Structure formats: C-alpha cells, structure tokens
Amino acid sequence: MQAQTSASWSSKIGFILSAAGSAIGLGAIWKFPYTAGTNGGAVFFLLFLLFTILVALPVQLAEFYIGRTSGTNAVDAFKTLAPGSHWPWIGRMGVTACFVLLSFYSVVGGWVLNYVVHAFTGAVTPGADFKALFEQTIASPFSVLFYQGLFMLMTIFVVKGGVSDGIEKANRYMMPALFVLFLLLAGRSLTLPGAAKGVAFLLKPDWSNFTPQTMLTALGQAFFALSIGVSTMITYAAYLSKKQDLFRSGNSIMWMNLLVSLLAGLVIFPAVFAFGFEPSQGPGLIFVVLPAVFMQIPFGTLLFAVFMLLVAFATLTSAFSMLETVIAAIIRREEVKRRRTSRVVGTAIFIIGIPSALSFGVMADMKIFGKTIFDLWDFMISAIIMPIGAFGIAVFTGWIQDRQQVLAAISEGSSVPQTLIQLWLTTLRHLAPIAIILVFANTLGWI
C-alpha cells in the first residue's frame, strides 16, 4: 500500500534524531519545568512519565503507522487508507494546526533568539531587572517582529533543503549538541550549594500534591511533549522505509524526550532552590528567574547564553517539523516545488503571526473572547485541535482500520514480541481515547 515519496531519511538514526527534535521543543525545556514547578514537582514528573508511556506513546505509534503505511502527506495518508471517507479532515486539521501553531510558536522562538543576543551582548548582567527586560523584550514592536522573522528565515532555510539534506542534516548536529550542553549545565547546577533541595523537589514525591488536577495536567503535558495530534509524526513517518523498527524508534524518541525534560529540571530546580527562588514562577521561569539564578554562578553570563542557545536549538527543531507538515501537504511529493513553496508558506506564516507577536505590546488591549490573539491561537491549538486530532488518530487506527492490517503493518521491520504489539493496539483502542477525552474536558473546564 505504501507509495514511497521521492524524499526519504538517509538513515534510521537520522529519522530518530529528527522526530525527537520535533518532540523536544518548548514543551520539554520551557513548559515542563514551569508546569512541574507549579504542580508539586516529583509527583507531577512521575505522572507525566507514566502517561507518556501508557497514553502518548501509543498515539505517536499510531501516527507512525498512518504515515509509513500510506507513504504520503498527512491529508493524502487518510485518503489512501480510508478512500471516500471524511477521515482526511483529521489530516487537514493537523496541517492547518501546524500552520497556525508555527505562527505564534515562532514568536516565542523569536524571544529565545533575542535572549541569546541579550546574553552575548551584555544585557543579561548581575543586578539587572530581569522582569523589566522580559517585558521590554516582548513589548517592543520592532524587536519582536525582527526576531520572529529571523526565526522563520532559519526554519525556511533548513526545510527548503528537504528531508535528508535539510531537516536531517540540521538535527544530526543540533540534537547531540543539545544533549551534551544540557549534561554540562546539569552537572554545574547539581554542584551548587543547596542543590539537593531542587533534586528532591523533582525526584522525591510529596504525595500531598497528588490531586485529580495534577493528574490531568500531567496527562495534557504528555500529549504536548510528544507533538501528537497535529500530524507531524505522520509526515515524518511517510519518509520511512519498511525496514525501520517503528516500536524501537518510538521508544527511543520518547525516552530522549523524557531525558531532556529531566535534564531541564536538573538544570533549573537545583539552581532555583540553591539561590532561594520559588519553583512555582510560571511561564516566566526561564526568561525572568533563570537569568537571576545564573548571575549568581561563576561564568553565569556565559552559561546562561549557552542555555538559551540550547532552547533555540530545541525550538527550531520543532519548527522544522511544523513547516514540513504544511509543505509536504502542498507539494505532494513533487520535490521540485519545495524551495519556492517553503519561502511562500514561511512568509505567509510570518505575516499571520504578526498579531501574535504584537499581543504583548501595541495590540495588548485587543481581546477576542477575553484573550489576546496570541493566547487565543494557543488555546485553540492546545486545548481543542490537538486533543481532537489525537482522538481521531487513536480511533482511526484502533477502530476504523482493519485490526490485522494494522498489526501486520506496525510489525514490519520490528523485532518486538507480538504480545507487546497487541498490547499497544489494545491500549490505543481503549485507554488512549478515554484519556484524551478527560484532558479535553478538563482543559475546557468541564471537569
């Protein structure tokens, strides 16, 4: 059934690093630490670990099945596997979500690039007012648009090179660099006086924090962390050969994501506790609290610059997958159209993102349903489209597709025991849809 694309990954590790790069973005480095910080630390981390393995991974593997079996983009994949049905709307929704998601994700990516410049040009110094610096950074119209544009240019430059020459090549350097630098930073953070309190906060559960709300928040983070529900993994898996072991690849990607989340926690929380800050600082943790923390460490300015460079790497690798999902759906394997389409679509995403970029400055008072443009897009994608997409993918693979066909396709190239593969399908059919409905209902305030 597979109609191989004219582009493909040049190696198994290239796919794993690129897919891990898609998953390891702001969710692991920015959102996980502040969400863990505001939800009790270790209890949240354990629940996040459990839900990632039991719920998010099965849905990710379902996306792998859809992508590799069809061998085509996220929209045509459903047309190939369920011709004449309405299921391609799941793919269309995923492609649209990636377009919109990248329009405001690139804004945060721009903030990160701006902070890299801040760190290397002396704006981040001991005694600086980091709250004022952050507010100034996100409110300046020229600054936010310039860095958002720069972020999109970098993303376009890589994606227009294609899968093996662009995305894979970039991830081959960026992902190992991310892990090495994170290990060095975590080592430095763990040697600070008082760091043990931060380690205990992240790894020693205080069961008084075990609440239904913490469980639902951890479940939501598990979905967000593996980039499921917006068809990026369908798109990446379409470039795979049938020799690739989908189970082992998915397992590797999941553990790499969990490792980066853990390392982010081990960089941030020991340092936060060592210098008497509160871990429950919310979204401003890496932009406001961390600079102040690093300034109290020898060579802190340089270390903070390295940390923000890491965040920039992770943010870009996720952006590659979002843009690729849109490009693949448009060019439909006609690689000759890639370069021009990448430039046109990337420019369109930048333009659509301008109101989001200005949502913290000149357009801060413009509200729709009580939300700024940035917050409205964020809510629509994270709270509505991602859960619906993940639910659709779980139901489509688990219930609509022929059970034996799914088991045969997912087993191809895999050395994983059949009992484990059957357990995956059972989990996908029953546990995943229920979990997704709970996250959806909780996010909308229904429970």
Cα-flanking dihedrals φ and ψ of residue 238, to 5°?
A: -65, -20
Q: What is the DSSP string of 134-185?
A: HHHHHH-HHHHHHHHHHHHHHHHHHHTT-IIIIIIHHHHHHHHHHHHHHHHH
Q: What are the distances in angstroms from CA 45 to CA 270, 367, 425?
A: 15, 34, 25
Question: Hey, is 371 helix, strand or coil?
Answer: strand
Give the per-residue pLDDT at 4: 40
Listed residue (339, 236, 255) closest to 57, CA to CA: 255
Of 275 and 44, more confident: 44
pLDDT at 3 over 70: no
132: burial class by Cβ within 10 Å (0-12, 13-18, 19+)?
Answer: exposed
Least confident range of 101-110, 205-214, 398-407? 205-214
Q: Please write the tens of the pLDDT for every residue from 235-266.
A: 999 999 999 999 999 999 999 999 999 999 99
Q: Please write the tens of the pLDDT for every residue from 284-339.
A: 778 988 888 888 888 888 888 888 888 898 899 999 999 999 999 999 989 999 99
> How much is the average pLDDT of 265-273?
90
Cα-flanking dihedrals φ and ψ of residue 17, to 5°?
A: -65, -40
Question: Hey, is 40 helix, strand or coil?
Answer: coil
Using CA atoms, how far apart are residues 86 and 51, in angstroms rounded to an integer?
30
> How much is the average pLDDT of 150-165?
92
Sign (positive or negative) of CA dihedral 406, 245, 386, 91: negative
Share of the chain above pLDDT 90, in %: 64
Residues in the chain: 447
Mean pLDDT score of the chain: 91
- In sequence order, the 6+-apart residues with CB closer than 8 A to the CB of 406 are 65, 397, 398, 425
Q: How many CB atoms lie within 10 A of CB 156?
A: 24
Give the per-residue pLDDT at 87: 98
Q: Please write the tens of the pLDDT for every residue from 104-146.
A: 999 999 999 999 999 989 899 988 999 999 999 999 999 999 9
- In sequence order, the 6+-apart residues with CB closer than 8 A to the CB of 74 are 67, 91, 94, 95, 231, 234, 235, 325, 328, 329
Listed residue (220, 234, 263) closest to 98, CA to CA: 234
> How much is the average pLDDT of 402-409?
96
Using CA atoms, how far apart are residues 263 and 258, in angstroms rounded to an integer?
9
Question: Hey, is 222 helix, strand or coil?
Answer: helix
Give the per-residue pLDDT at 414: 94
The answer to whether 42 touches 262, Cβ cutoff 8 Å, is no
Listed residue (11, 4, 25) closest to 260, CA to CA: 25
pLDDT at 2 over 70: no
The amino acid at residue 200 is A
Domains of the chain, earliest start first: 12-443 (1.20.1740)
Give the per-residue pLDDT at 246: 96
> How much is the average pLDDT of 151-179?
89
Q: How many CB atoms lie within 10 A of CB 243?
A: 9
Give the per-residue pLDDT at 283: 67
pLDDT at 282 over 80: no
Using CA atoms, how far apart are residues 261 and 304, in angstroms rounded to an integer?
18
Q: Please write the tens of the pLDDT for every residue from 357-401.
A: 999 999 999 999 999 999 999 889 888 898 899 999 999 999 999
The answer to whether 248 touches 13, Cβ cutoff 8 Å, is no
Q: What is the DSSP string of 312-343?
A: HHHHHHHHHHHHHHHHHHHHTT-GGGHHHHHH
Chain centroid to Cα 386, Å, comes to 12
Question: Hey, is 366 helix, strand or coil?
Answer: coil
**Longest pairwise C-alpha distance within the chain:** 64
Using CA atoms, how far apart are residues 256 and 267, in angstroms rounded to an integer?
16
Sign (positive or negative) of CA dihedral 153, 156, 160, 162: positive
pLDDT at 5 over 70: no
Using CA atoms, how far apart are residues 91 and 235, in angstroms rounded to an integer?
10
Q: What is the DSSP string of 377-391?
A: HHHIIIIIIHHHHHH
